[in-house]
Amino acid sequence: MKTMNQQSRGRFLLDRGASLPLMLPATLLVVVFLVGPFYYMAYTAMTDLSFANPDQKGAFVGLDNFRKLMRDDQIFWSSFWLTIRFVVVSVTIEFVLGFALAWLIWRFIERQRLLTTLLLVPMMLAPVAVGLIWRLLLQGDFGMVTYYLRKLGILSQASAVFSSPGLVMPTIIAIDVWQWTPFVTLIILAGLMSLPKTPFEAATMDGAGPWRQFVDIMLPLLRPIIALVLLLRGIDAFKEFDKVFIMTGGGPGTVSELLSIYAYRVNFKNWNLGYGAAVSFMVYLVVLILCSIFYKAVYWKSSAERQ
Amino acid sequence: MNRSYKILAIGVLACVLIIALTPYVWMLLTSFKGRLDILSPEPRWLFTPTLSNYPAVFIDKDYLPLVFNSLIISLGSTVLSVVIGAPAAYVFARSDFAGKEDLFFFFLTTRMAPPISIAVPLFLFFTTLGLTDTVYAVVIAHTSFNLSLVVWMMRGFFAEIPKEIDEAAMMDGRSRLGAFVRVIVPLAAPGLAATAVLCFILSWNEFLYAFILVAFEGRPLTVGIPGLITPHGTLWGQVAAVAVVATLPILVFTFLVQKHLVRGLTFGAVKG
Amino acid sequence: MAVSFKEVTKRFPDGTTALDRLDLEFDLGEFIVLLGPSGSGKTTACRLLAGLEAPSGGRIEIGGKDITDLPPRFRDIGMVFQNYALYSHKSVFENIAYPLRIRKVAAPEIERLVKEVADLLRIGDYLHRKPAQLSGGQAQRVAVARALVWEPAICLMDEPLSNLDALLRLHMRTELNRLHRKLDKTFVFVTHDQEEAMTLATRIAVLRDGKLVQFDEPRTIYRRPANRFVAEFMGRPAMNTIDGMVEGGVFRAGDIACAVDCADGPLMLGIRPEQIELADHATTSSVTLTVDVKEAIEPDTLLIFQNRGNSVTLRTQSNCDAIEPGQPVGLRFPKEALHYFDARSGERLR
């Protein structure tokens, strides 16, 4: 009954011809400025276009670029796996820390407003600014954090974080954790606040202690939100560019060259646009896959539960 | 027992807060420091503040126009996104048509698209149009990702307004569009405002699109900052001053829309 | 073995007093109904017994053992919630099995017990479903099954039928009655519906403003309500309560005059609508009132009379076709059907 009613109302709107003009500009804009570029990218990826080499004016080379990418390009693969490691490690840490913080706030703090607002600061800063801040803090000669790290004996006197290959990625991960843990906290906290009370009371009456309630009731009820947080963070982390670009530019060497930085280098430093498009295409592909999972796992699920 | 747990929890949270805020505070302090205070190997928490960094970079180095560029880009893309996106969101909230949810998802993929993938073709495209190095190119690029945020967020806000309100407005003699513009939009104003502020923030903070599309004339603050970093002798006081100007307004905005932030960050999936 | 509330008080942080020195004692095996309007403290009493809330004062004992500070899981009490509170992510089977899993019952035994209780509640066919796929009545049964499967000594039910539609509610009421007879368990049932209370309870505890007003068997509550509140709360339509004066053994109020066994002075007279009789022809013992409204609730008829601004309701099974609004009708108030309440306090006299 209800759906029929909604449908007939929807038809009514369409019949009046109102929805097309309302819808069209948005759709057009997206098509022209995102779908267009996407297909153009896919096309360019099958050419040898390069601004650096005048001989390569964009002749069609089929899947050569992808073949080369998959088979021979070790830098691509190393930066691909580097990115995957970066995503997995940082999102995991952010999730565990963020969840713990959210739980602490939810359980112990009554007036959460000010606290959560202040916690938001790192994630609301422009990523470029975050990169700068940490570059300043980790300066070899006068960085404030460098000074205290040396004082605590964590960092040796002569070395600086961003010039020690072994320290660069852990540091970048730590900074990403610093920036994005509040995001997890904020959303998990919203989830915790919206939990219904009765399932927990029911579990209490069924004899479940705090731990069982956490595992059997809270985690399953939070599952959609957990999936949402992990996917959103995963997608964003996979696209990470700004901070790392500012802090290390992918170096030293290629130690911190994440996929999007590699793509940037191929496109805009080497001006190898055909091959660069192939790299960009791969980045997009991974994001699209993550995105579909997001849609299936989170959005459908929650909209189905809402009805 | 319970009380001591609570004190422990507050202690942990206080530490977290210190870790979260100190870097930014340090940046703030640095922007008011003279050269010697900055370069001191031992961190100086107390120093004689100076305001000289700000005019040095914004007037002498001519960074002031970048602030206006940032403003134009953010405002422009916000207005465009809201004006174009809100009506589409209304359609998503109110009507049913074949493939609606797929189209809706399609809007999301545009938000998720990695800038590095879209930027190259967009760059070539704007080169053809002769729009590179202008704010317009960036406004359009930012609109494309902000648009989907508007569509996703506003659908939820519109859906929360009972259909009966549209119907009552139409019974009172308004057309569908009239009902939307005169009745629904004012009712959704708080959500609309929050969405607009979020768009503004995202656009203001964005780096990569702008970095690729504009080199000099139209560059916003985020793109201007790296230009101040040189391998030797970076003037950190000035860098910090620019960073402060680039971040402080956003933090103020954040506090304004905090209520709707969760919803915005999760594309409407969590109501917060 | 008895459950007893001893001077139990519950104040909430917002300052409301939900229970005010409640004293209540009942035996295991009974079907106790806590009855009262909203805000009477009935749900609070139930949640205190469950252990979901802690009392602000007083003690709760089971079998002489103080359980006031005992966590719920050690109390041997199961509970059915108003909105069922099923675990939406677990199947029906797992919902029912959950209390057993917590208690580390062996798997085959769980299988057996769940099947058994599911058959008892006639939900054996839905065990694989998720709660979202159940109708209200089925979800209700699952909730009951979950509360009973581990055989707790006491089963609490907090307005379990109020979310069901009318017909289903009657049906579930019958089922619960059958279940109680069969299982011989202690049920504590919270409701605001006097009819549910009447049909289910071995004893009803009527609560009002956090205080126990009357605690008796249903028939006693109906026949000898402790005060005006109980009198009007039990029975539909509500008992007629008429304020008047007694002079020389005759009660007068408006057009009503009838013989009573009471001392002179102000009195509140009570009589149930179904106990007023129609007088075929006016006699000295009858009262004549004018019909204001006639409502046919087949097969009965309600006649509502006006008596100087107050209404008097009569419920009868006799044929009223001839009676029309505006018409005077002779009524008889049988002496044995009269209730006498103190005019000021509303307490029952005798």
The CATH number of whichever domain residue C295 belongs to comes to 2.40.50.140
Partnered with residue C340 across adjacent β-strands are C269
Structurally, chain B folds into a number of domains equal to 1
pLDDT at B1 (0 to 100):
54
Q: Does some domain include residue C348?
A: no
Strands C277-278 and C287-297, sheet pairing: unpaired
Chain C residue with minimum CA distance to A201: C52
Q: Does A204 touch chain C (CB under 8 A)?
A: yes
Residue A303 lies in a domain: no
Q: Are residues C72 and C218 in the same domain?
A: yes
Whether residue B183 contacts residue B174, with contact meaning beta carbons closer than 8 Å, is answered with yes
Q: What is the CA radius of gyration of chain B?
A: 23
Instruction: Name the domain count of chain A.
Output: 1
Q: Which pLDDT score is estimated for B46? A: 87
Confidence of residue C309 (pLDDT cuts 50, 70, 90): confident
C-beta contacts of A260-268 below 8 A and 24+ residues apart = A260/A83, A260/B114, A260/B115, A260/B116, A260/B208, A261/A79, A262/A75, A262/A76, A262/A79, A263/B116, A263/B117, A264/B116, A264/B208, A267/B116, A267/B119, A267/B120, A268/B212
Output phi, psi for A14, to 5 deg.
Answer: -65, -40
- The verdict on C210 and C258 lying in the same domain is no
Classify residue C90 by its DSSP letter: S
Q: Is residue B228 pLDDT above 50, yes or no?
A: yes
Residues C82 and C154 in one domain: yes
Asked if residue B154 lies in contact with residue B195, where contact means CB atoms within 8 angstroms, the answer is yes
CB spacing of A201 vs C85 below 8 angstroms: yes
> Would you list the DSSP string of C126-148?
GTTS-GGGS-HHHHHHHHHHHHH
Question: What percent of chain C is modeled with pLDDT above 90?
Answer: 48
- Tokens encoding A33: 């400025």
Boundary residue ending a domain (C193, C208, C233): C233
Alpha helices in B31-96 (DSSP H): 35-39, 53-55, 64-94
Q: Kindly list the distances between the CA atom of residue A186 and the CA atoms of A100, A115, A117, A191, B246, in Å, as whole numbers in the listed order.
A: 11, 11, 9, 9, 23
Supply the mean pLDDT for chain B: 88
**What per-residue string of b and e applies to C111-145 under the rule 16 or more CB within 10 Å gives b?**
eebbeebbebbebeebbebbbeebeebbbbbbbbb
Cα→Cα distances B157→B75, B90, B92, B272, C173, Å: 22, 9, 11, 13, 42
pLDDT of residue A227: 86
Q: What is the pLDDT of residues C215-243, one digit of tens each?
A: 999 999 999 999 999 999 988 888 999 98
Q: Which chains touch A (3 or more CB pairs under 8 A)?
A: B, C
Structural domain of residue B169, as residue ranges?
A: 23-39+47-265
Contact yes or no for C258/C250 (Cβ under 8 A): yes
Final residue of a structural domain among C171, C203, C233: C233
Based on the fold, state whether residues C286 and C228 are members of the same structural domain. no
Searching chain C, which residue's CA lies closest to the CA of residue A220? C89
In a domain, A54, yes or no: no
Please, are residues C332 and C277 in contact by the beta-carbon 8 Å criterion? yes
B69: in domain: yes
Dihedral, A39, A41, A42, A44 alpha carbons, nearest 10: 120
Please compute the mean of the pLDDT values over residues B79-85 and round it to a whole number.
94
Is C257 in the same domain as C227?
A: no
Query: Per the CB < 8 Å rule, is A238 touching B114?
Result: yes
Q: What is the crossing angle of helices B189-205 and B135-160, to 10°?
A: 150
As given in the structure block, the two tokens for residue A204 are: 């209490």
Tokens of A237: 């982390």
CB B209 within 8 A of CB B141: yes
Instruction: Give the distance from residue B229's alpha carbon to the nearest chain A alpha carbon, in angstroms.
Output: 9
Rounded distance between C-alpha atoms, residue C172 and residue A90, angstroms: 54
- Residue ranges, chain A, pLDDT below 70: 1-18, 298-307
| CB pair distance less than 8 Å for C81 and A216 | no
**Residue C100 forms part of a structural domain:** yes
Beta bridge partners of C332: C277
Q: What one-letter code names the amino acid at A276?
A: G
What is the distance between the alpha carbons of residues A127 and A182, in angstroms, rounded to a whole number?
14
pLDDT of B65 higher than 60 = yes
Which CATH number goes with the domain that contains C116?
Answer: 3.40.50.300
B270: in domain: no
Nearest to A217 among C87, C103, C132 (CB): C87
In a domain, A48, yes or no: no
Q: What is the pLDDT of residue A305?
A: 47
| Shortest Cα–Cα distance, B32 to chain A (Å) | 14
CA distance A186 to chain B (A): 7
Q: In what order do the strands lie in the sheet with C211-216?
A: C77-80, C154-158, C186-191, C31-35, C203-208, C211-216
Average pLDDT score over residue span B241-260: 87
Instruction: Tell me the CB-side half-sphere exposure of residue A75, using CA atoms within 13 A.
Output: 14
Measure A190 CA to nearest chain B CA, in Å. 5
What is the residue-averaged pLDDT of chain C? 89
Domain boundary among C233, C263, C291: C233
Q: Is residue C346 part of a domain?
A: no
Report yes or no on B9 lying in a domain. no
> Are C189 and C329 members of one domain?
no
Q: Which of A18, A26, A105 lies closest to B147 in CB terms? A: A26
Q: Which residue has the tokens 């055989």?
A: C151
For residue A203, is it within any domain? no
Q: Is B194 part of a structural domain of the chain?
A: yes
| Predicted model pTM | 0.85
Residues 6+ apart with CB under 8 A from A193: A106
B65, part of any domain = yes
Tell me if A33 and B122 make a contact (CB, 8 A cut-off): yes
Domain identity same for C113 and C261: no
CA distance A195 to chain C (A): 12
**Number of domains forming the structure of chain C:** 2
Q: For B39, which of A6, A129, A142 is closest by C-beta distance?
A: A142
Question: In angstroms, what CA-CA distances link A252 with A247, B243, C198, C302?
Answer: 11, 25, 83, 94
φ, ψ of residue C188 to 5 degrees: the values are: -120, 120
- Does residue A290 sit within a domain? no
Q: What is the pLDDT at residue A242?
A: 92
Q: φ and ψ at C266, to 5 degrees?
A: -70, 145
Q: What is the pLDDT of residues C85-140, one digit of tens each?
A: 999 889 999 999 999 999 999 999 999 999 999 988 889 899 999 999 998 889 99
CATH number of residue B255's parent domain? 1.10.3720.10
For range C42-66, the mean pLDDT: 92
Q: Confirm whether B12 is domain-assigned.
A: no
Q: Do chains A and C touch (3 or more CB pairs under 8 A)?
A: yes
Tell me whether C94 touches chain A (CB under 8 Å).
Answer: no
What is the C-alpha to C-alpha distance for residues C79 and A203, in angstroms, rounded to an integer?
Answer: 10
pLDDT of amino acid A2: 38
Q: Please spell the DSSP secondary structure of chain A, one letter per residue.
A: -HHHHHHHHHHHHHHTT-HHHHHHHHHHHHIIIIIHHHHHHHHHTTB---SS-TT-S--B-TTHHHHHHHHT-HHHHHHHHHHHHHHHHHHHHHHHHHHHHHHHHHHH-S--HHHHHHHTHHHHS-HHHHHHHHHHHT-TTT-HHHHHHHHTTSS-SS--GGG-HHHHHHHHHHHHHHHHHHHHHHHHHHHHHT--SHHHHHHHHTT--HHHHIIIIIHHHHHHHHHHHHHHHHHHHHT--HHHHHHTTT-STTTT--HHHHHHIIIIIS--HHHHHHHHHHHHHHHHHHHHHHIIIIIIHHHHHH-
The number of residues making up chain A comes to 307
Q: How many whole angstroms separate alpha carbon B123 and alpha carbon B141?
A: 10
In a domain, A302, yes or no: no
A203 at interface of C, judged by CB pairs closer than 8 A = yes
Q: Are residues C167 and C226 in the same domain?
A: yes
CA distance A165 to A190: 39
**Residue C95 burial class via C-beta count within 10 angstroms: exposed 0-12, middle 13-18, buried 19 and up:** buried
Cis bond before residue C237 (omega within 30° of 0): yes
- Element housing C13 (H / E): none
Dist CA A130 CA A179 (whole Å): 8
| A103 assigned to some structural domain | yes
Same domain, C226 and C131: yes
Amino acid at B159: A
Mean of pLDDT values over C268-273: 91
Answer yes or no: do C8 and C24 share one domain.
yes
Higher pLDDT, B5 or A54: B5
CB spacing of A10 vs B96 below 8 angstroms:
yes
The whole domain housing C321 covers 240-341
Residues spanned by the domain of A175: 81-195+229-281
Q: What is the pLDDT of residue C335?
A: 85
Strands of C57-62's sheet in order across: C17-27, C2-11, C57-62, C65-66
Q: Calculate the alpha carbon distances from C260 to C249, C253, C350 in Å.
A: 6, 13, 13
Contact status, residue B138 vs residue B164, Cβ threshold 8 Å? no
Q: What does the pLDDT read at residue A51?
A: 83
What CATH number does residue A89 fall under?
1.10.3720.10
Is B64 within a domain? yes
Neighbours of B197 (CB within 10 A): 19
